[in-house]
């Protein structure tokens, strides 16, 4: 027996009205609340509910992909998002919306409503994003990466997240297919048709066996390296900004994986934006540098402050710890470059593309932007650092 049903605005109003704590956050009477559907991602229904004294964001799973009702999907994805929010909120504070409640039967997640924030991708598109947001994202990744890792907690606590998120296979399958496989597969039906100008470039990419070998190594790295609890889908559409307040949302793809995967997805999306708007290349490079400075600084500090917090690393002397930190951060950067490369390619030829390409002035410029993103992606996957790849591909 399950009482699951997709909620429309009025059903949601009744549902929130019946829950005292949530109703009290909104204030006034249910009839006073203003509900707006703001579904923006591909998967779920999202409502923003505003009352006289507060706002809530309510996210509910549908039994299918929201934008494609024929693509059936189990309902448990908001369950994983709720678990993720509970797992990382003690470490990231106001870098994510406050978690309020989760209804397991309705698969309904209720969190702080961010009424003034805008999605970072949109804010970048219309020029309202204030430079420097990446420092906060670096902080977010640094904090979650340390505190949910084998260095930050006894292994029993980490294994709890391993066990919990290993069951998030429906969404992980999407990542394995759409991010880590399809872009290398000629004629994959999930890839999008592009302008014929790009046919040759795409065909060359998909028949490149050196690239496939490197992608194969990244697949293994993604599945077989549970360093920390990842957000799992940390692109510029999963970040909301308002002035210098930055929040990470949409953790339903959460899984234990290599820290460089979260970094790579995020940075790959900054590079995509730079491909679409080449005049912003330096700004995006500054954001990348800010991200790393913030992440690395924080990750080192947290480790120095908690040298005995986990089983891994507890044997190290302070000097050895510093070498281990440097080696760990180098490896994170290496992974990040590869995963950023995959993100650049899959967002350019795969199923889920990015709105950034609509910012190009015409079709010629768009094809050029896509070609650059593919070249950048390939260069990164084959082992270049981010600086080297940008240098080589923006000439």
Using CB under 8 A, which of the segments 10-18, 21-29, 181-189, 289-297 binds a second copy?
Answer: 181-189
158 binds a second copy (CB under 8 A): yes
144 binds a second copy (CB under 8 A): no
Site for a second copy (CB under 8 A): which residue of 1, 31, 315, 361?
315
267 binds a second copy (CB under 8 A): no
Report the 10 Å Cβ neighbour count for 130: 12
Using CB under 8 A, which of the segments 176-184, 191-199, 244-252, 333-341 binds a second copy?
Answer: 176-184
CA 151 to chain centroid: 23
Site for a second copy (CB under 8 A): which residue of 9, 55, 324, 329?
324
Computed on alpha carbons and rounded to an integer, the radius of gyration of the chain in Å comes to 21
187 binds a second copy (CB under 8 A): no
Euclidean distance between CA atoms 148 and 255, whole angstroms: 11
188 binds a second copy (CB under 8 A): no
Using CB under 8 A, which of the segments 26-34, 67-75, 120-128, 165-173 binds a second copy?
Answer: 165-173
162 binds a second copy (CB under 8 A): yes
Residue 123 or residue 215: which is nearer to a second copy going by CB? Answer: 215
Residue 213 or residue 387: which is nearer to a second copy going by CB? Answer: 213
HEC profile of the chain? CCCCCCCCHHHHHHHHHCCHHHHHHHCCCHHHCEEEECCCCCCCEEEEEECCCCEEEEEECCCEECCEEEEECCCCHHHHHHHHHHHHHHHHHHHCCCEEEEECCCCEEEEECCCCCEEHHHHHHCCCCCCCHHHHHHHHHHHHHHHCCCCCCCHHHHHHHHHHHCCCHHHHHHHHHHHCCHHHCCCCCCCCCCCHHHHHHHHHHHCCHHHHHHHHHHHHHHHCCCCEEECCCCCHHHEEEECCEEEECCHHHCEEECHHHHHHHHHHHHHHHHHHCHHHHHHHHHHHHHHHHHHHHHHHHHHHHCCCCCCCCCCCCHHHHHHHHHHHHHHHHHHHHHHHHHHHHHHHHCCCCCHHHHHCCCHHHHHHHHHHHHHHHHHHHCCCCHHHHHHHHCC
41 closest CA partner among 24, 60, 56: 60
CB of 395 to a second copy, least distance (A): 30
169 binds a second copy (CB under 8 A): yes
Site for a second copy (CB under 8 A): which residue of 23, 311, 353, 359?
311
382 binds a second copy (CB under 8 A): no
CB of 62 to a second copy, least distance (A): 21
CB of 330 to a second copy, least distance (A): 14
191 binds a second copy (CB under 8 A): no
CB of 381 to a second copy, least distance (A): 12
Site for a second copy (CB under 8 A): which residue of 89, 219, 285, 353?
219
Site for a second copy in 80-139 (CB under 8 A): none
Site for a second copy (CB under 8 A): which residue of 45, 181, 201, 294?
181
Residue 344 or residue 386: which is nearer to a second copy going by CB? Answer: 344
330 binds a second copy (CB under 8 A): no
173 binds a second copy (CB under 8 A): yes
9 binds a second copy (CB under 8 A): no
289 binds a second copy (CB under 8 A): no
Report the 10 Å Cβ neighbour count for 53: 10
Return residues touching a second copy (CB under 8 A). 150, 155-156, 158-160, 162-164, 166-167, 169, 172-173, 176, 180-181, 184-185, 209, 212-213, 215-216, 219-220, 223-227, 311-317, 319-320, 323-324
């Amino acid at each position: 027996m399950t009482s699951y049903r997709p909620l429309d605005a009025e059903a949601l109003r009744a549902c929130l009205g019946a829950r005292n704590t949530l109703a009290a956050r909104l204030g006034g009477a249910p009839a006073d609340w203003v509900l707006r559907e703001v579904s923006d991602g591909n998967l779920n229904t999202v409502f923003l509910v505003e009352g006289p004294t507060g706002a809530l964001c309510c996210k509910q799973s549908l039994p299918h992909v929201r934008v494609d009702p024929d693509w059936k999907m189990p309902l448990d994805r908001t369950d994983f998002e709720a678990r993720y929010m509970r797992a990382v909120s003690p470490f990231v504070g106001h870098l994510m919306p406050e978690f309020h409640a989760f209804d397991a039967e309705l698969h309904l997640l209720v969190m702080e409503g961010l009424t003034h924030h805008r999605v970072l991708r949109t804010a970048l598109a219309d020029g309202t994003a204030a430079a420097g947001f990446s420092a906060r994202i670096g902080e977010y990744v640094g904090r979650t990466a340390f505190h949910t890792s084998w260095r930050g907690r006894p292994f029993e606590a980490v294994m709890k997240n391993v066990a919990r998120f290993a069951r998030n296979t429906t969404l992980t399958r999407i990542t394995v297919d759409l991010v880590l496989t399809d872009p290398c597969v000629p004629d994959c039906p999930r890839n999008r048709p592009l302008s014929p100008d790009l046919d040759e470039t795409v065909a060359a990419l998909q028949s490149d066996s050196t690239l496939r070998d490197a992608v194969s190594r990244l697949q293994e790295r993604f599945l077989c390296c549970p360093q920390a609890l990842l957000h799992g889908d940390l692109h510029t559409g999963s970040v909301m900004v308002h002035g210098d307040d930055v929040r990470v949302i949409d953790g339903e793809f959460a899984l234990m994986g290599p820290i460089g995967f979260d970094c790579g997805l995020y940075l790959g999306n900054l590079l995509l934006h730079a491909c679409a708007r080449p005049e912003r290349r330096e700004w995006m490079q500054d954001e990348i540098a800010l991200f790393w400075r913030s992440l690395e600084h924080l990750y080192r500090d947290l480790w120095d402050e908690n040298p005995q917090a986990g089983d891994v690393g507890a044997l190290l002397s302070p000097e050895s710890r510093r070498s281990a930190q440097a080696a760990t951060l180098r490896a994170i950067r290496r992974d990040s470059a590869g995963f950023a490369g995959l993100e650049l390619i899959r967002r350019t030829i795969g199923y889920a593309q990015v709105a950034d390409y609509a910012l190009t002035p015409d079709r010629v410029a768009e094809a050029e932007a896509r070609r650059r993103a593919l070249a950048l992606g390939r260069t990164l996957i084959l082992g270049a650092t981010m600086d080297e790849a940008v240098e080589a591909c923006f000439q």
